[in-house]
Structure 1
Amino acid sequence: MFVTAPAALAAPAHDTAAALGELRDRAEITDALYRFALGQDLKDKDLFASAFAADAELDFGPAAAKWGAAPPVMTGRDTIVTTILGLFAGRVDTTHQVTNPRIAIDGDTARLTALVEAQHLLSADPTTYALLKNPYDVELVRAEGGSRWLIRSMVIHNTWFTGDPTAIFG
Structure 2
Amino acid sequence: MSVSLSENVANKLAIVDSLYRYAAGIDLKDPELIKGAFTEDAVSDFRPAGAKAGFEYPVLEGKETIADALLNSLKPIVTTHSVTNPRVTIDGDKAYLEAIVEAQHLPESDPSRHYLMKNRYDVELLKQQDGWFICRVTVDNVWRTGDPTVLAGV
CA RMSD, 1 decimal? 1.5
Paired letter, 2:80: T
For residues 45 and 72 of structure 2, the distance between their equivalents in structure 1, rounded to whole angstroms, comes to 17
For residues 18 and 135 of structure 2, the distance between their equivalents in structure 1, rounded to whole angstroms, comes to 11
Question: What residue ranges of structure 2 are gaps of 5+ in the alignment?
Answer: none
Counterpart in 2 of 1:113?
Answer: 98
For residues 152 and 43 of structure 2, the distance between their equivalents in structure 1, rounded to whole angstroms, comes to 18
Paired letter, 1:106: D
Q: Percent identity?
A: 46
Paired letter, 2:103: A
Determine if the alignment matches structure 1 residue 151 to structure 2 residue 134.
yes
Q: After superposition, where does 1:47-58 map in structure 2 within 5 Å?
A: 47-58=33-44
Counterpart in 1 of 2:71?
Answer: 85
TM-score, scaled to structure 2: 0.94
- 1:67 Cα offset (Å): 2.3
For residues 67 and 33 of structure 1, the distance between their equivalents in structure 2, rounded to whole angstroms, comes to 22
- Secondary structure class of the residue paired with 1:72: coil
Please identify runs of 4+ aligned residues in structure 1 that moved more than 2 A. Answer: none
- 1:98 Cα offset (Å): 0.4
- 1:63 Cα offset (Å): 0.5
Counterpart in 2 of 1:27?
Answer: 13
For residues 57 and 166 of structure 1, the distance between their equivalents in structure 2, rounded to whole angstroms, comes to 25
For residues 141 and 117 of structure 2, the distance between their equivalents in structure 1, rounded to whole angstroms, comes to 7
TM-score, scaled to structure 1: 0.86
For residues 135 and 169 of structure 1, the distance between their equivalents in structure 2, rounded to whole angstroms, comes to 21
1:132 counterpart (104, 117, 131)? 117
- Secondary structure class of the residue paired with 1:125: coil
Per-residue Cα deviation, 1:48-83 (whole angstroms, up to 9, x for no partner): 110011100001110011122221100100000000
1:129–1:168 contact (8 Å) kept in structure 2? no
Which protein is richer in strand relative to its size? 2
> Larger Cα Rg: Structure 1 or Structure 2?
1
2:105–2:150 contact (8 Å) kept in structure 1? no
Determine if the alignment matches structure 1 residue 45 to structure 2 residue 28.
no
Determine if the alignment matches structure 1 residue 75 to structure 2 residue 61.
yes
